[in-house]
Amino acid sequence: MKTQPKFELPQSDTDGRTPSLHPWFALQVRSRQEVGVGEQLAGQGYERFLPMYKLRKLWSDRIKEVDAPLFPGYLFCRFNPQDRLPILKTPGVIQIVGFNNVPAVVDESEICSLQTVVAAGVPQQPWPFLAAGDRVRIKSGPLVGLEGILTEVKRSHRLVLSVTLLQRAVAVEIDSALVAAIGPSRIKQAEKSGSQVRHVPVSV
């Protein structure tokens, strides 16, 4: 059974809404209500994070760009898990993502990576979750320091940032010249051992 990171709550915190004192959790919400739920949580004093991207949609006579959630049906929120009833009672919230009715903490570094991408304003899009492949670190530019999986799609390179808990990922357009590999390539390791590694082809 997978165990979740342990954390201790400050004794002085009683309202469950002090943003910097609590970990991030993922909330599953009703379809197309992500923005509304986020606004309600903000109005209650919670810190929430709803990453968005530009989606090109075909209308009757033209293609239009609209803002859409990177993780449809989900948003992130900081709160005291011991005082989660107000979260669950918020209209539009289906459940807190977790295991065996215990809320699961979202890795702080994964949230920080997504926030950095959103703040940088670089092109991004939802992406299938990747569990294998070469990890890379961006060595320069507005996203310097971010780590992820580099993949190639139609001659365009993308850095894939994963949210492990949700089994979702986000692809960010990136110049492969700006990244450096972290550790040996899984492809080369597989070639040496003669084993097969099942993953999306990567290019650095």
User: Where residue 41 sits, what CATH number does that domain have?
Assistant: 3.30.70.940
Res 16: pLDDT: 52
Q: Same structural domain for residues 98 and 120?
A: no
List the helix and strand counts (H, then E) for the chain.
4, 15
67 within domain boundaries: yes
Mean residue pLDDT of the chain comes to 79
What tens digit of pLDDT does each residue of 66-110 get? 889 999 999 999 999 999 999 999 999 999 999 988 999 999 999
Report the pLDDT value the prediction gives residue 21, as an integer from 0 to 100. Answer: 79
Q: What is the pLDDT of residue 155?
A: 65
Confidence band, pLDDT 50/70/90 cuts, at residue 1: very low
Domain check: are 149 and 179 in the same one?
Answer: yes
pLDDT tens digits, residue range 148-178?
887 776 667 788 888 889 989 898 888 766 7
Q: Tell which of 106, 124, 159 closes a domain.
A: 106
Residue 44: domain span: 19-106
Residues 180 and 178: their CA atoms lie apart, in Å, by 7
User: Cα–Cα–Cα angle for 27, 32, 37, nearest 5°?
Assistant: 45
Determine, yes or no, domain membership for 203: no
DSSP 39-108: HHHHHTT-EEE--EEEEEEE-SSSEEEEEEESSTTEEEEE--GGG-HHHHTSTTEEEE-EETTEEPEEPH
The tokens for 60 are 């009757």
| Averaged pLDDT for residues 18-39 | 90
Question: CA neighbours within 13 Å on the CB side: how many for 202?
Answer: 25
Q: How far apart are CA 126 and CA 132, in angstroms?
A: 17
- Domain co-membership, 83 together with 127: no
Of residues 117 and 10, the one with the higher pLDDT is 117
